[in-house]
Structure 1
Amino acid sequence: MSMFCYQCQEAAGCKGCTNRGVCGKTDDVANLQDLLIYTIKGISLYAINYEHIDDITERVNKFIIDGLFSTITNANFDKVIFVEKIKKGLAIREEVKEALLKEGKNIENIKHDSALWMESTLEEFEEKAKSVGILSTENEDVRSLRELLIYGVKGMAAYAEHAYNLGYTNNEIVTFMKKALASTTDDTLTVDEMVGIVLECGKYGVDVMALLDKANTETYGNPEITKVNIGVGSNPGILISGHDLKDMEELLKQTEGTGVDVYTHSEMLPANYYPAFKKYEHFVGNYGNAWWKQNEEFESFNGPILMTTNCIVPPKESYKDRIYTTGSAGFEGVKHISDRVDGKAKNFSEIIEHAKKCKSPVEIEKGEIVGGFAHNQVLALADKVVDAVKSGAIKRFFVMAGCDGRMKSRNYYTDFAKALPKDTVILTAGCAKYKYNKLDLGDIGGIPRVLDAGQCNDSYSLAVIALKLKEVFGLNDINELPISYNIAWYEQKAVIVLLALLHLGVKNIHLGPTLPAFLSPNVAKVLVDNFGIAGIGSVEDDIKLFMGEE
């Protein structure tokens, strides 16, 4: 065993990757990611005692958010970047430590090794990493709860970074992240205390998703019902993938008038729904499907691809020279576009000039798909939706948010969508929608049977819609609504969405295609007993269960 990682749904054997990640992550990168998380825990132990909102706090917060985000599945595979981040993290940790000492704070009680260790070379980092990984916590249940919390915080960091890039911050959210990470070093906490912090993470999960929703909608307008073109034009193009809307905005501005078209891919599809982006005539539409198909779709696109966040598949040599990363994303051997400096936009000139030399994309499909059903748009249709429910035209809503992935067992979600009764509606967000968003499932009185709220980041919209329906129908409990939750998960942003739903009181959520490998039997039992968490079965049996036919 040269590494151990089980943070995503595709963990080998549903137990853990031990030599190379199914995602393509090499063992040395995996171990350095573990060491970066360990370093951030040490920073957190000091930073929770630093009470000022100043330049030090801002640097600490930004480092923690970016560092966590860079370790989520499929975000960054570049070993050099992780070495640099660990060195920077150690320097930041010492800066906070010195600031506390200058204030006369007693820090002698901070004795955990993550707050004390200090090495400087790659060889020393690699040796240190061997002793600080996931399996260094011997008790299986304690390990499970600590990792569940860490993965929830990683998901929070992803949402916090997108909001930060648009100028929206909430120090309380990052303060909790520090508290949560510090708690994973405390061997005196009871299981009940750890469960309490995990559930508290859900509360801040709601807060960070609300913050990002505010950042996106106040900056770019509320998403609108939109027909998105999935064909191609005749100009050369740039394909933008990932989740960061600030990158989307700056790329559109810089490509205007250049003769280069812009297309979205995978989780960037919902950018098509925002009013602010619709004014760009060279914004053609969406190309391709979910992230895991990029090996074939990036090949046929012909032009350069900008990866703004996670969801990178190790590229083929045939198109590797056309991949560009930015933000927390990275891959060894591909060009990285630097962060903004002094509030100025990123410089996308290199990728634009590259695009001009490329052929136009090969068309892989034609037509349109409809989306833009975020909470503001759905609530504008509230009367129509409520009338459809009261008349019996809509019997039940199915929240099928979450992630797509490579496993063939995920075809369950396509089959499930096809088999649902015609008087049901799917509420979705995230790339899970690619399993059914191009099916002809029809509508109910003009209401499409697939309502796409946007990215996984926009799962908050689904919670807002549910809470509004609860209010409209005068219900005391969100679980009394005719809504079932059948969610596909893949990585850590899905973990924070799950914890947020639990905080909101949602019960009987079904997760698939497998339950997380990081849930020990006892921790899984806590979730089952208290919240009704369950896996998936056959399509036929599950539909009968959800529709109350059993």
Structure 2
Amino acid sequence: MDHNMFCFQCEQTAGCTGCTSRGVCGKDAQTAQVQDRLTGALIGLARAADTSPDAGPETWQLMIEGLFATLTNVNFDPDSLNALAGRVRAEKQRLVPDCAVCTAPCGRTGDYDLAQLWGAQEDIRSLKSLLLFGSRGMAAYAYHAMVLGYRDESVERFLSKALFAVGEDWGMEELLPLVLELGEVNLRCMALLDKANTECFGKPSPVHVPFSVEPGPFIVVSGHDLHDLKLLLEQTAGRGIAVYTHGEMLPAHAYPELKKYPHLKGNFGTAWQNQQKEFADLPAPILFTTNCLMPPRLSYADRVFTTAVVGYPDIPHIGAEKDFTPVIERALELGGYAETQHRTGMNGGTGTTTGFAHDAVLANAAQIVEAVRSGAIRHFFLVGGCDGARAGRNYYTEFVRQTPPDTVVLTLACGKYRFHDMDLGTVAGLPRLLDIGQCNDAYSAIQIALALAEAFQCGVNDLPLSMVLSWYEQKAVCILLTLLHLGIRNIRLGPTLPAFLSPNVLQYLVEHYAIAPITTPEADLAALLGS
């Protein structure tokens, strides 16, 4: 394609077709090109690993880091991306040491040019994009488990298998089974992360989280990485510094090994896409641990820090040693607010409750089953996924607001910021709104659905359960593929369908899984409730 760049991996991509000069996420053409070259190098590494007996944990770790770094809103820094690509090529050289000087190149270990993918026949491009983007999302889950010391070689080898396939000249009959297999493997990956989080931080339990900010120095931590938050809490203990979560870090308050720290105070701000406004006058540093970074504005760029695979030019980065001293010193220097700041959510609420993971919900399984059988609970809605700035996402706010009082709303991921501070009351002695956690906690939602299906001795599709999902980036892709692997049908997806779904691939999903776009809250509620 004759463009400075091409990217259509997120829901907000320009014109619902693709960004070709600058990403709506804020990345420029140079960054997009470097990300493509990094991805091409990863495919070259997968080609080398396919035949090398020496491929192992170091190989898979590099693949996971590289895939995660190309996720939307993670790394905007060409220098760090180029450095990562250099490490990837060095690993390929280790696996096939004579490849670079071979006088008879076989073409089996070289880097892949992603221009071949963007210019491919639309159905091939669509399936390969599902495979690549879903792999990026799954790599994020694998990364979070990996930093806690939990790995699954079958997951890691599949990521290599998927990258290898993206570089091959394969048809739909070979690519489609791989796309569906990704959903199966991602279920194992999400189970691994759930095990890692609960064994390291304890089982989440419901907890009320205030939105107010107390006087004094504080640090705001954004992203998803609970391990980074734990390390920061350890390093700030006894320093007179409060720690507030932001965005997808909110569910951290529910974990016993994190909420035991008294200086973990509350949650600052609303959804990730509002950060440029909400951080403008913040008298505190912000630490980004994973994706959800937007290009920092000058009004607060001097207070931003990154760590792990996150990067932005000229922004201080906390390396693998995880010494957060620069962040701590900046917090003490800025001093925080002089008086308590009483803040509210997007609907005026002063706090929210999180921590309804699968163990917490299923502890009430008998009560839930009886409430359904008695008619006290008519229906469950899973309303979750990514948030974003594009018009149309108020649909999810209105959908939840209009759910009848005899229904339960399960939610997870940052899409909940549209409505999680609403008071929906209770039904059958349970809160009507149950926040399961991060997008990383989609496994909990699946376990709840499977447990209910077992209790009622029916399939998940026979439950009074509807899924109304919002998507933005690539973790939503792998979760969707996992739901399809489980045979779940009639998912409503919005606010717009992925630009990388070709008409033929979309038709396949409609025919086999009855996926449908959202319409209006009123019409969708009526259809899902059969009224």
Per the alignment, in what secondary structure is the counterpart of residue 394 of structure 2? Answer: helix
Separation in 2, partners of 1:15, 1:447: 43
Separation in 1, partners of 2:406, 2:118: 51
Question: Structure 1 residue 354 and structure 2 residue 330: aligned?
Answer: yes
Separation in 1, partners of 2:264, 2:215: 13
Structure 1 counterpart of 2:414: 431
Question: Structure 1 residue 369 and structure 2 residue 352: aligned?
Answer: yes
Task: Give the CA deviation at 1:132.
Answer: 2.8
Task: Give the CA deviation at 1:339.
Answer: 1.2
Per the alignment, in what secondary structure is the counterpart of residue 295 of structure 1? Answer: helix
Asked whether the equivalents of residues 281 and 300 of structure 2 are also in contact (C-alpha less than 8 Å), the reply is: no
Structure 1 counterpart of 2:264: 283
Per the alignment, in what secondary structure is the counterpart of residue 301 of structure 1? Answer: coil
Asked whether the equivalents of residues 31 and 133 of structure 1 are also in contact (C-alpha less than 8 Å), the reply is: no
Taking structure 2 as the reference length, the TM-score comes to 0.95
Structure 2 counterpart of 1:40: 42
Per the alignment, in what secondary structure is the counterpart of residue 397 of structure 1? Answer: strand
1:328 alignment partner, one of 306, 309, 313? 309
Separation in 2, partners of 1:297, 1:203: 39
Structure 2 counterpart of 1:67: 66
Asked whether the equivalents of residues 224 and 290 of structure 2 are also in contact (C-alpha less than 8 Å), the reply is: yes
Q: Deviations over 1:308-345 (max 9, x none)?
A: 000011111011010000001111111000014xxxxx
Task: Give the CA deviation at 1:135.
Answer: 4.9
Separation in 1, partners of 2:199, 2:261: 19
What are the equivalent positions in structure 2 for 1:395-414 lying under 5 Å apart?
A: 395-414=378-397
Q: Deviations over 1:119-157 (max 9, x none)?
A: xxxxxxxxxx9x533654421110110011000100010
Question: Structure 1 residue 298 and structure 2 residue 279: aligned?
Answer: yes
Per the alignment, in what secondary structure is the counterpart of residue 284 of structure 1? Answer: strand
Over 3 Å counting, the alpha-carbon distance change for 1:257 and 1:99 in structure 2 is farther
1:238 alignment partner, one of 219, 243, 249? 219
Structure 2 counterpart of 1:170: 152
My pick for the range that moved more, 200-209 or 381-390, is 381-390
Task: Give the CA deviation at 1:92.
Answer: 1.1
Structure 2 counterpart of 1:308: 289
Over 3 Å counting, the alpha-carbon distance change for 1:95 and 1:229 in structure 2 is same
Amino acid corresponding to residue 37 of structure 1 in structure 2: T
My pick for the range that moved more, 67-76 or 276-285, is 276-285
Q: How many corresponding residue pairs?
A: 521
Asked whether the equivalents of residues 238 and 263 of structure 1 are also in contact (C-alpha less than 8 Å), the reply is: yes
Structure 1 counterpart of 2:493: 511
Amino acid corresponding to residue 395 of structure 2 in structure 1: Y
Structure 1 counterpart of 2:234: 253
Amino acid corresponding to residue 63 of structure 1 in structure 2: L
Structure 1 counterpart of 2:514: 532
Asked whether the equivalents of residues 4 and 135 of structure 1 are also in contact (C-alpha less than 8 Å), the reply is: no
Structure 2 counterpart of 1:58: 57
Asked whether the equivalents of residues 467 and 492 of structure 2 are also in contact (C-alpha less than 8 Å), the reply is: yes
Q: Which runs of 4+ in 1 moved over 3 A?
A: 133-137
Runs of 5+ in structure 1 lacking a partner?
Answer: 118-128, 341-345
Task: Give the CA deviation at 1:424.
Answer: 1.0
Separation in 2, partners of 1:152, 1:132: 16
Give me the CA root mean square deviation: 1.8
Separation in 2, partners of 1:135, 1:150: 10
Amino acid corresponding to residue 121 of structure 2 in structure 1: N
Separation in 2, partners of 1:461, 1:100: 45
Task: Give the CA deviation at 1:470.
Answer: 0.6
Asked whether the equivalents of residues 290 and 431 of structure 1 are also in contact (C-alpha less than 8 Å), the reply is: yes
Structure 1 counterpart of 2:51: 49
Amino acid corresponding to residue 457 of structure 1 in structure 2: N
Asked whether the equivalents of residues 4 and 134 of structure 1 are also in contact (C-alpha less than 8 Å), the reply is: no
Q: Deviations over 1:454-506 (max 9, x none)?
A: 0000011000000000111111x210011101000000000010001111111
Separation in 2, partners of 1:99, 1:251: 44
Question: Structure 1 residue 181 and structure 2 residue 163: aligned?
Answer: yes
